Amino acid sequence: MHRDNGDGFKIRPPHAGMISRRQFLQRAGGLTFCLALAPLIGYGTAEADELISTRDKRAIQFNAYVHISPDGTVTIINPAAEMGQGVMTALPVIVAEELDVEWDDVRIESSPPFGEVYGDPAFFNRIFTTSSRTITNYYERLRRFGREARQVLLENAAEEWRVPVAELRTTPSLVIHDKTGRSISYGEIAAFAGTGAAFDGGEPITFKAPETYRLVGKNIPRRDLPGKVSGSAEYSMDARPGGLVYAAVSRAPVEGATVRALDEHDARSISGVIDVIQRPESVAVVATSYPAALKARDRLEISWHEVEGMSDFDSGDALQQHRAAALDLSRSGFPWDTQGDISSLADNATQVYAAEYRTDYVYHAQMEPLNAVVSVTDAGKKAEVWAGTQAPANTVEAVARILDIPVHDVKLNRSLLGGGLGRRTVPSMDFVVDAAWLSRVLRRPVKVVWTREDDLRSGHLKPMTAHYLRAAVDTRGNISAWQHRVASDESIKMLDRPSYEAFGKVPVTSMLGASHHAMDRTLGDAYDLPNRLVEHVAMDTGVRLYPVRGVGATPNNLAIESFIDELAVQQNADPVEYRLRLLHKSARGRRIIETVAGMAHWTRERHERALGIAYTHYVDTVAAAVAEISFDQKQEKITVHSVWLAADVGLAIQPDNVRAQLEGGIVHGLGYALSERITIKNGLIQQRNFHDYSVMRMADAPAVHTELLHSDRAPTGVGETGSILAPAAVANAFAALTGRRLRHLPFTPDRIREVLMT
């Protein structure tokens, strides 16, 4: 029997018993008003209490997200990692709106690494800033916390003034009683809150009417910008605790390899070297300066034990195996999204079309090379960590594990991230733990900085994929059956085993964006393909893989949207018209397609240029992009002149920031389309630095025109949308321009040449 394991899968929590859950919340986001007055403290985690009390001992904790000081300062807790996506401002804006606080009174502080109330419900209530999900997953909870803290303020004022709560209202940071003309500030309430009678609450929450929003939807300046333009923003790389020493680490060239032989003599002769320390899977050089550590590391002579199957691994051969697996219909796949009956694919009376596509490995290429600083103290019993992490609990646990100390004895300073793109969630925390064990051995703080070469050599790659698609088209031109086979290695199977098991060992990242239904499993804004089988053919490569921005949705969108275009051509249908037909049940989808077609002047004739369109409903954000390209025969170069993108993201908390995410995502996706590619020979990643791993530069970047279509739905994610749409839009534009179909991502000059010659 086929089971439907669509994008809206059920999960069960992993990591059980890792951290004892506290009783401060019966269920996240659904708390009642019994939290209120006497006493207010103790409502968050002990870590949060400590966190806040170290800064302002008089601040009253109204709830886990809102703390108000008698001086009127309102501290709002941000649980998510700030890696450039603006979430450290956007999440507090949601709280502040419902709290009805003056934005200038708000200061923002990072949450502790643990605590169910700070965790993401879609990721087992652990903080996991990934997958375009932060705003979506925290939205309902944060507006409740904001509203409920406001309610506590009202109750306090009512108690103080002996008036009914219903006679009170708020203006920003003030509670007002119109009948008597009295007002009291939030800070003044905080001065006596906690001594009044307990509020028993219980009424349902009434949220603000959207038309009265002062912050949501208004483009509040990002709080991280001033430090980032002045240079004072602190990344983990900038931490400099006293007595700091520097380490450069040689790591296993392939996962699981161990040191066979080491000659460290020459390395030790370099001035400034403090020690050379070996572990089974790595060799570290510690020195008084980073250049000295690097120079000494170059002098290490290390040979590694081979890992079976990896020493002759070749990515070109592997892709051929992926391709063969996708094409081999006798090899049944894991049924990810099934509906109806696809037997018409075998019916001689129908037209059956088939196509295949492939994508290469890509690498995160976040701008800040991986790094961390760890200071182990108290004879190895405590540790302080500076790290930019997308999964702070993973970070604390990894350090605790390697030091064999309780997690509560690890203090994490959650630094800004110079980009994350998925790399900094990995449970091994390979970029953090080296500093921890070295600090324990040396009894002083250690900074480990990866060079860009280290970062590439130990890259955790987005899996290569091969796709085989078939469609049966009936006499009226309708798609009567759809089959999409994806052959790939699942990106979390090896390096995030806890999540993989928690998700039920299904190919969860591989198949994102491949389903033709919304996250709640309704048709939603997907193409109407009533008879379909979308399946995953599992490959086992042993290569270090990990989710990278766009995850499986980028290759899946390339395959789906290219194939849709090919079917449109077969039907002599315009690609826009054809998609409108497939979206006949989705008014939102049609509106997006029509909008983007209008923006791009889709029907206008172009000279030596052509347009291509792609559509997605990934994470229920409905979006489409049109790319305008030209092709230079001599240079074998595709130039992308413009990209138009229309998106319905529901409620946009920070619209300008949403646009920035979409624009940046498009250019990231154009890197996927045209140049980004990792190859492996003899088990080793071949690319070394940005000269041979080519990220798009300004000269090649198009003008991106973005339009947000607002709707009253709750906010949906935008972090990956652009990077998902861009490759298919380019492929479709190239086909429109030349009549030839690019099937292998990235569309490098040699592949373009090959396609044009056949």
Partner 1 sequence: MSDKIPFTLNVNSREYQVSVEARQTLADVIREECGLTGTRVGCEHGVCGSCTIIVDGAPVRACLMFAVQAEGKEVRTIEGMADGEELHSVQRAFSDNHGLQCGFCTPGFIMLITAALEQNPAPTDEEIREMLSANLCRCTGYQNIFNAVKQYVGESTETTGAHKND
Cβ nearer to partner 1, comparing 259 with 660: 660
Task: Indicate which single residue of 156, 375, 657, 687 sits in contact with partner 1 (rule: CB under 8 A).
Answer: 657
Please tell me whether residue 752 binds partner 1 under the rule CB under 8 A. no
Cβ nearer to partner 1, comparing 364 with 467: 364
Contact 31, 148 (CB under 8 A): yes
290 by Cβ neighbours in 10 Å (0-12 / 13-18 / 19+) ranks as middle
Least Å distance, CB 364 to partner 1, is: 9
Cβ nearer to partner 1, comparing 229 with 261: 229
- DSSP H or E stretch at residue 320: helix 315-327
Residue 569 DSSP SS3 = helix
Least Å distance, CB 628 to partner 1, is: 15
Please tell me whether residue 663 binds partner 1 under the rule CB under 8 A. yes
Least Å distance, CB 448 to partner 1, is: 14
Tell me which residues in 433-462 interact with partner 1 (CB under 8 A): 451-452
Contact 282, 250 (CB under 8 A): yes
Contact 413, 372 (CB under 8 A): no
Cβ nearer to partner 1, comparing 295 with 743: 295
Burial 196-228 (b: 16+ CB within 10 A, else e): beebebeeeeeebeeeeebbbbeebebbbeeee
- How many helices and strands (H and E) does the chain possess? 18, 28
Least Å distance, CB 375 to partner 1, is: 17
Contact 634, 740 (CB under 8 A): no
Burial 723-744 (b: 16+ CB within 10 A, else e): bbbbbbbbbbbbbbbeeebbbb
Number of residues this chain uses to bind partner 1 (CB under 8 A): 62
Query: Judged by CB under 8 A, which stretch of 45-53, 616-624, 652-660, 748-756 contacts partner 1?
Result: 652-660
Least Å distance, CB 619 to partner 1, is: 19
Least Å distance, CB 641 to partner 1, is: 13
Tell me which residues in 72-111 interact with partner 1 (CB under 8 A): 83-86
Least Å distance, CB 362 to partner 1, is: 13
d(CA 726, CA 667): 8
**Cα first-last separation, the chain:** 42
Least Å distance, CB 539 to partner 1, is: 28
User: What are residue 623's DSSP bridge partners?
Assistant: 616, 647
The radius of gyration computed from the CA coordinates of the chain, to the nearest angstrom, equals 27
d(CA 417, CA 390): 8
Cα distances (angstroms) measured from residue 127 to each of 123, 138, 411, 443, 543 = 7, 11, 16, 30, 26
Query: Judged by CB under 8 A, which stretch of 21-29, 118-126, 341-349, 686-694 contacts partner 1?
Result: 686-694
Please tell me whether residue 587 binds partner 1 under the rule CB under 8 A. no
Cβ nearer to partner 1, comparing 454 with 489: 454
Query: Judged by CB under 8 A, which stretch of 34-42, 126-134, 283-291, 606-614 contacts partner 1?
Result: 283-291
Please tell me whether residue 322 binds partner 1 under the rule CB under 8 A. no
Task: Indicate which single residue of 701, 714, 755, 756 sits in contact with partner 1 (rule: CB under 8 A).
Answer: 701
Token duo for residue 356: 């295949």
Please tell me whether residue 475 binds partner 1 under the rule CB under 8 A. no
Least Å distance, CB 551 to partner 1, is: 17
Which residue is listed with tokens 């079309």?
353
x/- binding map, residues 215-244, to partner 1, per CB under 8 A?
------xx-xxxxxxxxxxxx-xx-x----
Cβ nearer to partner 1, comparing 254 with 548: 548
x/- binding map, residues 284-303, to partner 1, per CB under 8 A?
-----xxxx--x--------
d(CA 716, CA 620): 6
Least Å distance, CB 86 to partner 1, is: 7
Task: Indicate which single residue of 320, 341, 690, 753 sits in contact with partner 1 (rule: CB under 8 A).
Answer: 690
Cα distances (angstroms) measured from residue 625 to each of 267, 702, 704 = 53, 13, 10
Cβ nearer to partner 1, comparing 273 with 526: 273
Token duo for residue 515: 């389903």
d(CA 284, CA 296): 10
Query: Judged by CB under 8 A, which stretch of 48-56, 96-104, 363-371, 483-491 contacts partner 1?
Result: 363-371
- The dihedral formed by the CA atoms of 285, 243, 376 and 418, expressed in degrees to the nearest 10: -70
Cβ nearer to partner 1, comparing 25 with 81: 81
Least Å distance, CB 418 to partner 1, is: 3
Q: State the amino acid at position 392 in one-letter form.
A: P
Long-range contacts of 396-400 (CB under 8 A, 24+ apart): 396/113, 396/114, 397/18, 397/427, 398/427, 398/428, 398/429, 398/432, 398/433, 398/436, 399/374, 399/429, 399/432, 399/433, 399/436
Token duo for residue 528: 């109407």
Tell me which residues in 709-748 interact with partner 1 (CB under 8 A): 722
Please tell me whether residue 664 binds partner 1 under the rule CB under 8 A. yes
Least Å distance, CB 231 to partner 1, is: 2
Task: Indicate which single residue of 146, 418, 513, 650 sits in contact with partner 1 (rule: CB under 8 A).
Answer: 418
Binding site for partner 1 (CB under 8 A): 83-86, 221-222, 224-235, 237-238, 240, 271-272, 289-292, 295, 365-369, 416-421, 451-452, 656-657, 660, 663-668, 689-691, 695, 697-701, 703-704, 722
